[in-house]
């Protein structure tokens, strides 16, 4: 006896790379994709739509920290600060840009820096710390 639908099971197991994958999953779950294929035929343009949406709205996949970046962030996050000096901000922005494939720049506003770049780096850093604390 064959399984019902191995394709949808495989699709559910793979992680979405962008909004197109999420839209496809919703359409599959609600039955909209079956209606579209019935009305428009097998080549209804769904895969093209998914690819375009994934390229336009990708989910951010951070790169792994290097050992030096991890050590730097360990030192940085162990000393809580309310202001970040220009030199330290440059170093943190460089790490941030490499990890997130971004082109962020330093800012004269410490609270803006702490609320944006600092928080994202801290989230990535904590991903490395959590397995060690369990």
62 within a domain of the structure (yes/no) = no
Q: In the beta sheet, which residues pair with residue 58? A: 18
Segment 74-120, tens digit of pLDDT: 999 998 777 788 888 999 999 999 998 888 898 888 778 878 888 89
Same domain, 11 and 47: yes
- Asked if residues 24 and 33 have their Cβ atoms less than 8 Å apart, the reply is yes
Return d(Cα 96, Cα 84) in angstroms, integer.
15
Instruction: Answer yes or no: do 33 and 85 share one domain.
Output: no
Q: How many domains does one find in the chain?
A: 2
Residue 89 lies in a domain: yes
Residue 11 placed within a domain: yes
Length of the chain: 134
CA distance 48 to 10: 19
- Residue range(s) defining the domain that contains residue 71: 67-133
pTM flag (> 0.85): no
């Amino acid at each position: 006896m064959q399984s019902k639908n191995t394709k949808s099971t495989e699709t559910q197991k793979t992680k979405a790379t962008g909004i197109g994958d999420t839209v496809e999953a919703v359409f599959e779950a609600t039955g909209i994709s079956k209606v579209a294929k019935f009305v428009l035929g097998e080549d209804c343009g769904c895969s093209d739509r998914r690819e375009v949406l994934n390229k336009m709205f990708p989910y951010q996949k951070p790169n792994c920290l290097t050992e030096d970046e991890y050590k730097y962030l360990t030192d940085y996050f162990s000393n809580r600060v309310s202001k970040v000096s220009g030199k330290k901000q440059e170093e943190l922005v460089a790490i941030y840009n490499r990890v997130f494939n971004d082109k962020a720049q330093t800012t004269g506003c410490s609270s803006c820096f702490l609320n944006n770049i600092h928080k994202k780096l801290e989230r990535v850093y904590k991903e490395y710390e959590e397995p060690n604390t369990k």
